[in-house]
Amino acid sequence: MLDPALLRTRPEEIARRLRETRGFEFDADALERLETERKLIQVRTQELQNLRNTRSKAIGQAKVKGEDVAALLAEVAGFGDELKASEGRLEAIRGEIDAIVRTLPNLPDNNVPLGADESANVEQHRWGDVPQFDFEVRDHVELGARHGWLDADAGAKLSGARFTVLRGKLARLHRALAQFMLDLHVNEHGYEETSVPLIVNAETMEGTAQLGKFVEDMFATRVGDSTRYLIPTAEVPLTNIVRDEIVEAADLPLRMTAHSMCFRAEAGSHGRDTRGMIRQHQFEKVEMVSVTRPEDSDAEHERMTRCAETVLERLGLPYRRMLLCSGDMGFAARRTYDLEVWLPSQQTYREISSCSNVGDFQARRMQARWRNPGTGKPELVHTLNGSGLAVGRTLIAVMENYQRADGSIGIPDVLRPWMGGDDVIA
């Protein structure tokens, strides 16, 4: 959520910046009208509340003295209805302002390139050599289906389109990837392993700005009068751990990682991505979340992205880092790096990790704060999140980059301890 003080004092400037950077339009005039009305009604409400308190005190004193309080009671009754209506209207206006503010995306950082879509993203660097094959390259669907390892038909029978059943050594390879990533982030990168709920309440989803316009992309469950949501990423519960908390400065940065199932409805069609495992309704991811002091978040963003890159480098997978332009970033992000891995079957790089610095955008929604030792006062933290990595897409990349002419798949050295020492699956 953007700073309400900025929206009150510079609404036209914020509207201009959102229009120029995000292509997002919002009615600043409507917000200003609501703010003007809020101020007037708030002043009148406070006057009426003070008047009520003064008269109530006078009634008490008169009763003690045995004086007639009929006139005072009549006066209180006279402005009581106005006070009730004023308080109701004030609450309604605040709700309208809050509803508008919650629809506004984060403002991009000053060093984020301007652009409307991914064509304006800027490549930062590449790592690794693209593999060359002396046989016809197969995609992950063909590699998996020919051995019965990847079964989309069984997934469709059980749950519908965009669900997959993994079997045998491919299922084990998928598990090995998750274990490798988790151990790397915990043992070498200093993240605390965390196990989180997969079903969360609306307040938790709202804390990381997942509801609103994104609600149609969420799977929900309803028990009685309670609606809860299946998490789209472990970012949601991990970040909300500090909701309504004041973290001591000595405990920052907080670095947490979790391996979890993720669920996304993604109702729209994405062409070839609906085939195989690239875009599934249910998938697994190892997530990284950091909570930092504001002055440390840019450095933490670089560190987090390097942690994700290290996973790809240890696996020997060619990738490139992209700095996303203003129009291609997520709703809550102020700066985002995407890591894209090489897929031989598509002869291109595809996203496998997204690492974002959100600034205080989520913290303001969650009232997540730290105690500044310089002032002794609570201030908003900065939050960051990143994929470290998407397990299914990493499996696809390993399958395609390590494929052999006979359809077998080589196993990267770092995964062999989780594969019983095997160097190939066939």
Q: What is the mean pLDDT of residues 54-70?
A: 72
The answer to whether 24 touches 18, Cβ cutoff 8 Å, is yes
Taking every pair of Cα atoms in the chain, the longest distance, rounded to a whole number of angstroms, is 105
User: How distant, in Å, are the alpha carbons of 7, 120, 323 from that of 10?
Assistant: 5, 28, 28
Entry pTM = 0.90
Chain center to CA of 111: 21
What is the bridge-based pairing of β-strands 319-323 and 335-343? antiparallel
How far apart are alpha carbons 247 and 253 in whole angstroms?
A: 10
**Does the pLDDT of residue 271 top 60, yes or no?**
no
How far apart are alpha carbons 403 and 138 in whole angstroms?
A: 8
Query: Which region, left, alpha or beta, applies to residue 87 given φ > 0 means left and ψ of -120 to 50 means alpha?
Result: alpha
How far apart are alpha carbons 41 and 48 in whole angstroms?
A: 10
The verdict on whether 243 is a catalytic residue reads no
Given the residues 354, 356, 365, 369, select the one marked as catalytic.
Answer: 354
* Residues linked to residue 288 through DSSP beta bridges, in sequence order: 257, 386
264 is in an annotated binding site: yes
pLDDT, position 72 = 66
**Does the pLDDT of residue 223 top 90, yes or no?**
no
User: How distant, in Å, are the alpha carbons of 108, 345, 396 from that of 138?
Assistant: 40, 6, 11
pLDDT, position 178 = 98
Given the residues 22, 38, 162, 264, select the one marked as catalytic.
Answer: 264
Q: What are phi and psi of 381, to 5 degrees?
A: -80, 175
How far apart are alpha carbons 401 and 319 in whole angstroms?
A: 12
Span of 186-190, 228-232, 246-250, 273-277 with lowest mean pLDDT: 273-277
Query: Which region, left, alpha or beta, applies to residue 314 given φ > 0 means left and ψ of -120 to 50 means alpha?
Result: alpha
pLDDT, position 49 = 81
Which among 304, 298, 198 has a CA at the least distance from the CA of 255?
304
Q: Which two tokens stand for residue 273?
A: 């991505």
Q: Does residue 166 sit in helix, strand or coil?
A: strand
Q: What is the mean pLDDT of residues 34-62?
A: 81
**Through-space distance between the first and last CA atoms of the chain, rounded to whole angstroms:** 51
233 is in an annotated binding site: yes
The verdict on whether 351 is a catalytic residue reads yes
Domains of the chain by start residue, with CATH: 4-103 (1.10.287.40), 118-425 (3.30.930.10)
**Polymer length in residues for the chain:** 426
Collect all residues with Cβ–Cβ distance below 8 Å to 107 and sequence separation of at least 6: 2, 14, 17, 18, 21, 334
Span of 186-200, 261-275, 314-328, 399-413 with lowest mean pLDDT: 261-275
Q: What DSSP string describes 2-40?
A: --HHHHHH-HHHHHHHHHHHH-----HHHHHHHHHHHHH
354 is in an annotated binding site: yes
pLDDT, position 272 = 57
Q: Which two tokens stand for residue 120?
A: 């304006």
Q: What is the mean pLDDT of residues 248-276?
A: 83
Write the pLDDT tens digit of every residue in 305-357: 999 999 999 999 999 999 999 999 999 999 999 999 999 999 999 999 999 99
pLDDT, position 48 = 82
Please give the mean pLDDT across all residues of the chain: 91
Amino acid letter for position 16: R
278 is in an annotated binding site: no
Q: What is the share, in percent, of the chain residues with pLDDT greater than 90?
A: 71
pLDDT, position 76 = 67
The verdict on whether 416 is a catalytic residue reads no
352 is in an annotated binding site: yes
pLDDT, position 406 = 93
For the range 20-24, what are the long-range contacts, defined as Cβ-Cβ under 8 Å and sequence gap of 24 or more? Answer: 20/114, 21/107, 21/108, 21/112, 21/114, 21/326, 21/327, 22/105, 22/108, 22/326, 22/327, 23/116, 23/327, 24/104, 24/105
User: How distant, in Å, are the alpha carbons of 69, 173, 236, 337, 420 from that of 256?
Assistant: 63, 24, 12, 19, 29
201 is in an annotated binding site: no
pLDDT, position 158 = 94
The verdict on whether 138 is a catalytic residue reads no
How far apart are alpha carbons 421 and 176 in whole angstroms?
A: 12
How far apart are alpha carbons 31 and 40 in whole angstroms?
A: 14
The verdict on whether 393 is a catalytic residue reads yes
Write the pLDDT tens digit of every residue in 374-413: 999 999 999 999 999 999 999 999 999 999 999 999 999 9
pLDDT, position 214 = 66
Given the residues 300, 365, 393, 400, select the one marked as catalytic.
Answer: 393
